[in-house]
Structure 1
Amino acid sequence: MELRNVFKVGAFGLLLAAAGGCYEYPLPPAATMGDTYTQRKQDGADRLLDDITDLTLADAQRIAIRNNPTYIAAYHAVNAARMRYLQAWGAYSPTVSASFSLGDKQTWTRNTVNTTGTPNYTEGISTSTAINVNWLVFDGLAREFSVLIYRHNFDYQKMLEEDEARTMMRAVAYAYNTVLLAIENKRIAEEDRDFQKSSLRDTQLKYQAGAVPLSDVLNFEIQMNSAETNLISADYQYETAIYALAVLMGYPEGTFPKELKFPSDFKTNFSDLPSVDVYLDTALANRPDLKGYREQLEVAKYQMYQTWSAYSPTVNAYFNFGYSTSLNRRSGWQSEPPAKSGEPYNNPAKRTYSESPSIGYGLTADWTIFNGLIRENKIREYKANLAVAEFSVAAKWLEVVSEVRTAYANYVQSVKQTRIFEKTRDLSAQQRDLVDEGYKAGNTELTRLNEAQRDLVEAETNLASSYINIQNAKAQLDAAVAANSAAYYGDPENTAPGELKNTPVSADSPETQPVPAPADESFIPPANPAGTTMDSGLKAPASQSQIPPANRSTTVVVDEPAAPAKAPAIPADPTKAPEK
């Protein structure tokens, strides 16, 4: 009965050990585990868009942060680093081990001559049970430094996860904006085709009446074919854009349903940005990749400290308990005759048994006095690694500053260009209409009409690209300063980036006020105005409240763009004509 209880306890202990080693997680989409697309298994990943009719950028980013396999892999890498950190703490615990052995030895004796008192057969059965306890008492603080190293490696892995989210959100925004640009380019190509088709129809009537030569008819046919080619290119651009966006969102279908719509509200006015210094301070405080380099610097520092432990003695304590048994059986004795007649034969016992418990404990110390300058050179090696880490942080710091300034300048110049392109588009539309009227009246050459239409298409294309450039610049600036974490993008309540406030000021200093935009709509800001800023909707960290007044710069507001004369809505489906 007691033996049965022992087995029950042992089985329960093994069950707990097995459960402690389990790591449960949602599996990747079932389709990705197979080797076929048409016969793939479908699961929840294939129903990501079931309840969505209008896909906004916030929706795309939220789905990506929850389903992108690359980001999920980064999340599990953080868990793996955490387990390595917890393993490092195990070095403070004593190591307890148990051993057991069972042996059976059988011996036969044959062809003996002139021997007595020797058995022909001997069997020995022995067991040995031992429990050993070892405990590292002191190792020159090597364990302490090892724990710190794994702790900062854990923090480094968390920064890699955050940086993966930062770059992925930027990639999703770029892919999403490419879809919008493709839809705009399709609209432009359709309008160009419709104009050429209308002109062709009118010119054919004139040709039949003998008012224009055949070359005019052929010209409009060629121009209409060119517009059709641009339309095909726009369709291809749309398809490749949604393929890229679907992959980033972790959508196994690899494309979107035809009925899925994209909003057309990206043609918005653009307000002011805080000073670039605010963005620089925010980025240097928030960027996860820069924080990751700083964590690696801490790792290199503690690795260098750990090398000094080699000069210290290592002290261990131990405790041993053993219990052994021995059973011997003998048979087939060659008997030795008794010394006196009538006495029994003098043979040893046929069976012997013994038990031997033992206990041992003590301390051991090991101290390396000289090993050929290996320790000294290893210290120099890790000091060099520390210098590498320090300069890597410096290089990343400069890279972050460059990225922020580039993104900031990109946003500013994109807004400036957009305002010029808006005016150019309106002027080109007016010019094209005047030239078209002149051609219909017979007062303008056909080549001039071709030039005017080509200028209008180019102006429309440039304006559409500039609108998207602004959205890309916003995404670039958001990523450059790392204003929002992965948790922010995953929250359904957050549908737009947070707002980055102007630089705070001290109580004894007046707050910097934005400069009003000039009333003259023909005003175009200079190429490089000092302190010119735009609004990207970012959230400043709490540390910004400590920025001294000397770091503040005036915020400039660029004039609001005039509403376009014609801004057709972006069609939800590129196969359909745009709304008029």
Structure 2
Amino acid sequence: MRHVPSRGSLVLFVLFSAAAAAPNPSPAQEPPAEPMGIEACVQEALRANPLLEAAGHGLLAAREAESAARSAYLPRLDFQAASRRFESRAFLPSALTGEAAPAGGISPVIGPVNQHSLAMKGTYTLFDGGLRRAEAAHAAAGTWGALHAREEARQKVVLSVHKAFYGALAAQESLGVAEKVLERALQHERMALARRETGDAPLADVLRARVRTSEARVALLRASSDVSVAMGALNAAMGRPPQTPLSIRHDPRTPADAPLPSVGEALAAALSERPELDGAVQRVEAGRRRVEAARSAFVPKVRLEGSYGRLDQGFFPGDRDWSLGIALAVPVFTGFARGHDLARARAELARSESEALWVVLAVEQEAFAALARAEESRAAVLAVRDLVREAEESLRMARERYAEGAGTITDLLDAETGLSEARLREVRAVYEERMAAAELRWATGRADGETSGTGER
């Protein structure tokens, strides 16, 4: 019975492998002196993300497969050495083996005798019905497909870094909002205590203010945890352990300054630049070559064969033994395997063509949805800024009214809650706009602001 490794042993193997490959940690890790911007994070991800390394190895494997397929155009040489002892029978004319033969006849039995041989044998395919050409073209399509797969992985990594980076910035700004909320809650608590001491406010106002302060402290703890989680996600997107110390700086760019493309422009860019489409085309091409290779199985094969060596009864044979000729192989019956192989290749080609059509629809839908989200996010930023201004004015008025005794603690805390929610909405809207802009660039094949650039192999 074959031994199947347990899940625990596989996990331990991965952990030990990672520990062996990782550098020794320093006794005390400090945050980097230079905060990283979005470009630095993208470059780090392109250098260290294991998904890109895996895609690179996939491309290397595809290139080696293409070279192996093209090697079929070269002759094949094999060195053979053999040693055997045998006994056989030769079917000779009776005139040579009967009693009337000279010297009593020749024995038809050969051996037992030793035979040792050394030979160099070579074959070269002269005609194979297009099999070599089809297999080489199939492998070349696989290389192009792997190249586009690597570009697809690169653009996805760039997108994931942008999303994680803006998510981390949003978490940091949300933490700042939570700190301001706690600061205002403490101010309101002091206001309620002061009015309580002068007899202008009941104890209920103080208790409500303290409850609000406790809620603000809990929100601050949650916001601090969100920052740690977001930093871990950004580290992971860059191919680093999530606990790696990281400091980032605000992105000075303002994506809203650039005009958005029209629907037609976005769809046209996606259909011309997205590497997924090129990969789908190469899979269809590979399927066509598989059909050609399957058809070649019905065609005779012609090979040039030759050998040269030594043959003798003792070691270090001295008698020459050579041959040169042409061999014809005609497939007569293979158990219907050729027909099934051809039918399978045609079915796989049809599947690849259908999948390519689906990729076109998916790419168009992603570009259309990304453009809609970008338009929505820009409008949301403008709307939420008006909301923040109104919430700030509402809190100012509620604070003045409460200080003068004309307002209630409920009005003050409601206004403070409204401003806190408006600030958080503003943070989310700003960075959702930047995420939407990054997603639109990815959906149109320009995740890093450039074309895919997969022209080189």
TM normalised by structure 2 equals 0.84
User: 1:552 is matched with which residue?
Assistant: none
Between stretches 190-199 and 247-256, larger displacement belongs to 247-256
Residues 51, 445 of structure 1: alpha-carbon distance in 2 compared, 3 angstrom cutoff:
closer
Aligned residue number for residue 423 of structure 2: 460
Deviation by residue 1:285-343 (Cα, 9 ceiling, x = unmatched):
11111211111010111111222212210111110112123349xxxxxxxxxxxxxxx
- The C-alpha deviation readout for 1:259-300, integer Å capped at 9, x for no partner, is x34226366753422322222111111111121111101011
Which of the residues 184, 203, 206 maps onto 1:217? Answer: 206
Contact 2:162 2:438 in 1 (8 A): yes
The unaligned stretches of length 5 or more in structure 1 are: 1-31, 106-122, 329-352, 485-496, 499-537, 542-580
- Preserved CA contact (<8 Å) 2:175 2:220: yes
The structure-2 alpha-carbon separation of the partners of 1:354 and 1:383, relative to structure 1 and needing over 3 Å to count, comes to: closer
Among 278, 283, 286, the residue aligned to 2:265: 278
Secondary structure at 2:143 match in 1 = helix
SS at the partner of 1:444?
Answer: coil
- Identify the residue that residue 135 of structure 2 maps to in structure 1: 146
Aligned pair in 2 of structure 1 residues 308, 440: CA closer, same or farther (>3 Å)? same
Q: Deviations over 1:486-510 (max 9, x none)?
A: xxxxxxxxxxx43xxxxxxxxxxxx
Q: Quote the Cα distance in structure 2 between the aligned partners of 1:266 and 1:226.
A: 35
Secondary structure, counterpart of 1:210 in structure 2: coil
Distance change (3 Å), C-alpha of 1:424 and 1:41: closer
- Note if contact 2:255-2:434 (Cα within 8 Å) is conserved in structure 1: no
Within 1, Cα distance between the matches of 2:437 and 2:429?
12
Identity %: 22
Number of equivalenced pairs: 416
Question: What are the superposed Cα offsets for residues 84-117 of structure 1, whole Å, 9 maximum, x if unpaired?
Answer: 1100011111111112245799xxxxxxxxxxxx
Residue type at the aligned position of 1:82: R
Partner SS state of residue 250, structure 1: coil
Q: Give 2:396's aligned residue.
A: 433
Aligned to 1:324, the other structure's residue is in SS state strand
Match of 2:257, SS?
A: coil
Per-residue displacement from partner, 1:541-572 (whole Å, max 9, x unpaired)? Answer: 9xxxxxxxxxxxxxxxxxxxxxxxxxxxxxxx
User: Contact 1:428–1:459 (CA<8 Å) still a contact in 2?
Assistant: yes
For residue 223 of structure 2, what is the amino acid of its counterpart? A
**How far apart are the structure 1 equivalents of 2:395 and 2:165?**
32
For residues 496-548 of structure 1, the C-alpha deviation after alignment (integer angstroms, 9 at most, x for no partner) is x43xxxxxxxxxxxxxxxxxxxxxxxxxxxxxxxxxxxxxxx6699xxxxxxx
For 1:266 and 1:476, how far apart are their aligned partners in 2?
16
- Are the structure 2 counterparts of residues 354 and 135 from structure 1 closer, same or farther at C-alpha, using a change threshold of 3 Å? closer
Contact 1:203–1:217 (Cα < 8 Å) also in 2: yes
Which consecutive residues of structure 2, in runs of 5 or more, have no partner in the other structure? 1-13, 87-111
For 1:412 and 1:318, the matched residues in 2 are separated by: 70
Alpha-carbon contact 1:45-1:250 (below 8 Å) kept: no
Query: 2:245 corresponds to which letter in structure 1?
Result: F
Q: State the match for 2:176 in structure 1.
A: 187
Distance 1:383 1:421 in 2: 56
1:370, 1:196 → 2: CA distance?
88
Cα distance in 1, alignment partners of residues 54 and 310 from structure 2: 50
CA deviation profile, 1:103-138 (whole Å, cap 9, x unmatched): 799xxxxxxxxxxxxxxxxx9876321111111211
CA contact (8 A) 1:282 1:540 kept: no
Judged with a 3 Å threshold, the aligned counterparts in structure 2 of structure 1 residues 44 and 274 are, in CA distance, closer, same or farther, namely farther
Aligned partners of 1:326 and 1:355 also within 8 Å: no
Which of 371, 379, 384 aligns to 1:416? It is 379
- Equivalent of residue 234 in structure 1, options 202, 217, 223: 223
**Partners of 2:406 and 2:249 in 1: how far apart?**
43
- 1:491 maps to none
- 1:42 deviates by 1.9
In structure 2, the CA distance between the partners of 1:421 and 1:403, relative to structure 1 (3 Å rule), is same
Q: Which has the larger radius of gyration?
A: 1
3-state SS of 1:361 partner = strand
Cα separation, 2, equivalents of 1:421 and 1:375: 67
Query: What is the 5 A alignment of 1:529-540?
Result: none
SS of residue in 2 equivalent to 1:130: strand
Distance in 1 of aligned mates of 2:83 and 2:227: 75
CA distance, structure 2, for counterparts of residue 176 and residue 412 of structure 1 = 21
Query: Equivalents in 1 of 2:121, 2:261: separation in Å?
Result: 67
Counterpart code for 1:355:
G
Select 1:131's aligned residue among 104, 120, 134. Answer: 120
Q: Please provide the CA RMSD for this pair.
A: 3.1
